[in-house]
Structure 1
Amino acid sequence: MTPDTTITPLERLIDAALPHVAFDGWTQATWDAAVTDSGVDPATARALCPRGAVDLALSFHRRGDRLMVERLKAEDLSALRFRDRIQRAVRYRIEIVAPHKEAVRRGTTLFSLPQYMPDGAGAIWGTVDAIWTALGDPSDDINWYTKRGTLGAVYGATVLFWLGDDSPGWMNTWDFLERRIDNVMQIEKAKGTMRKNPLLRPLIAGPAWLTRGVKAPGRGRFRGMPGSINRQGW
């Protein structure tokens, strides 16, 4: 069978791996089968994924992020509240990989192993960063981090719930997602109340002063670093 040259070698590897992941997980056996079935030259495959199945699993995850962003950009979300846009993005992200639920489950197991936990955390961070960026997040201070950290917790919990959800159309998952976002909004509302309360304002003045110089990556003095501190702001 002649490989489709309109599809990149990495895409061919991912597609060839997915039928095997359900049985073998993201393992060497899946990697070997993907290389064979895709027709990708082994040297090229190894150059694309130096760690084999681990990097292939990450590539599968990043493809989901890319497809989610494409879907978000194709729709007019201007009539939605911002919280509803976030909810829609998380739902899209899950729906995109829903046909490969077992591959997601196996990936979750893989990235729960101690040696791969940093990769898993980085993958989730990449997803929530893609969501906030696609929705036009203007933050360039500490909020850049807190928004992504909060959404990462919501996204991770929702995916885990979805993996065990067998309700029709995953309605229980969407209800769970809505409740988690409600929880976040309640926290933000409480923070806003504290800022407006003259009795509580001094309690948050110190932390606010300490974090006001924190900048988003690539926008401070140390470009390429994971954020920076602008001490001149102090």
Structure 2
Amino acid sequence: MTDIDPATDFGTDPTRAALLRAILPHVPFDGWSETAFATAARETEVTLEEARAAAPRGALDLAAEWHRQGDRLMLRALREADLTQMRMRDRIAFAIKTRMSALPEREALRRSTALFALPQNAALGARLLWETADGIWTALGDASRDGNWYSKRATLAAVLASVVLYRLGDESPGLERTRAFIDRRIDGVMAFEKWKAGAKDNPVLRPLVRPLSWIMGQIHAPSRPDLPGGWRSGE
């Protein structure tokens, strides 16, 4: 696996990068909190006003930046890896395993999971998972532009959420149990996709599958990642 160094690539905003580096050692004790944010600002030698300019929502913005940093490290590793000899299921599994190893601070992950589970932060947490799933599929060359664009990302986001929860309780060397869990989850998804493909040719299931296939074909992917999809105009 490609070596990745989360300490050297925190994005383009230098103040936010410095705040993120400073807050991480405090997150296991104080969480992604205002206390930790203020401490990070003090250690970074910036005023709270300057810190707020870089992270308007305080520690919440830094938690989101930490998650996205993991995505960037994963994508860099995918670009550098030779995936040509891998089956698609192995490429997906490799991507998820790389993402889990990108940011090894388990307590920070635990605190992040709790933070994004709060009702006021749930939408942001869902968006971050979607961004990760979209990043993986895009990096692996997904060319779908119909409803499958959404279903692939929704399915992968659900897998990622389950993997994060499993990883929080995994103390095995090298995350061996988490890696095995990822393989099982991907196998389950691929088995369903195989069944779905076969259902189109099944005379019993075909009448049920055909309308769904038509609906999926009428949906198109967004022109930008943050836009919702819709129906094809004129149809």
TM-score under structure 1 normalisation? 0.91
- Please state whether the residue corresponding to 2:117 is helix, strand or coil: coil
From 21, 25, 43, give the equivalent of 1:15. 21
State the alpha-carbon separation in 2 of the partners of residues 182 and 150 from structure 1.
13
Give the RMSD, CA atoms, in angstroms: 1.7
Q: Does 1:56 align with 2:73?
A: no
- Please state whether the residue corresponding to 2:228 is helix, strand or coil: coil
Partner of residue 158, structure 2: 153
Partner of residue 188, structure 2: 183
1:199–1:18 CA distance, 2 compared to 1 (3 A): same
1:23-66 superposed Cα distances (whole Å, 9 cap, x missing partner): 00000011001111122343332122111011110011111111
Higher relative contact order (CA 8 A, sep 6+): 2
Aligned-partner residue type, residue 132 of structure 1? W
Partner of residue 127, structure 1: 132
Q: Does 1:200 align with 2:202?
A: no
State the alpha-carbon separation in 1 of the partners of residues 69 and 13 from structure 2.
13
Moved more, 209-218 or 110-119: 209-218
1:83-115 superposed Cα distances (whole Å, 9 cap, x missing partner): 1011001001110111x1111110000111111
Aligned-partner residue type, residue 174 of structure 2? G
1:108-141 superposed Cα distances (whole Å, 9 cap, x missing partner): 0011111111111111111111111111111111
Q: Does 1:80 align with 2:82?
A: no
State the alpha-carbon separation in 2 of the partners of residues 120 and 36 from structure 1.
27
Q: Structure 1: which 5+ residue stretches go unaligned?
A: 1-5
State the alpha-carbon separation in 1 of the partners of residues 46 and 76 from structure 2.
26
State the alpha-carbon separation in 1 of the partners of residues 55 and 145 from structure 2.
33
Partner of residue 7, structure 2: none
- Segments of 4+ moved more than 3 angstroms: none
For residue 210 of structure 1, report the CA deviation from its aligned partner.
Answer: 2.3
State the alpha-carbon separation in 2 of the partners of residues 109 and 25 from structure 1.
9
State the alpha-carbon separation in 2 of the partners of residues 154 and 101 from structure 1.
18
| Aligned partners of 1:111 and 1:119 also within 8 Å | yes
Partner of residue 228, structure 1: 230
State the alpha-carbon separation in 2 of the partners of residues 145 and 114 from structure 1.
24
Q: What is the count of residue pairs matched by the alignment? A: 224
From 75, 86, 101, give the equivalent of 1:69. 75
Q: Structure 2: which 5+ residue stretches go unaligned?
A: 1-11
Aligned-partner residue type, residue 109 of structure 2? V
Partner of residue 213, structure 1: 218
| Aligned partners of 1:13 and 1:40 also within 8 Å | no
Q: Does 1:47 align with 2:53?
A: yes
| Aligned partners of 1:213 and 1:231 also within 8 Å | no
Partner of residue 94, structure 1: 100
Aligned-partner residue type, residue 56 of structure 1? L
State the alpha-carbon separation in 1 of the partners of residues 227 and 13 from structure 2.
34
State the alpha-carbon separation in 1 of the partners of residues 16 and 114 from structure 2.
22
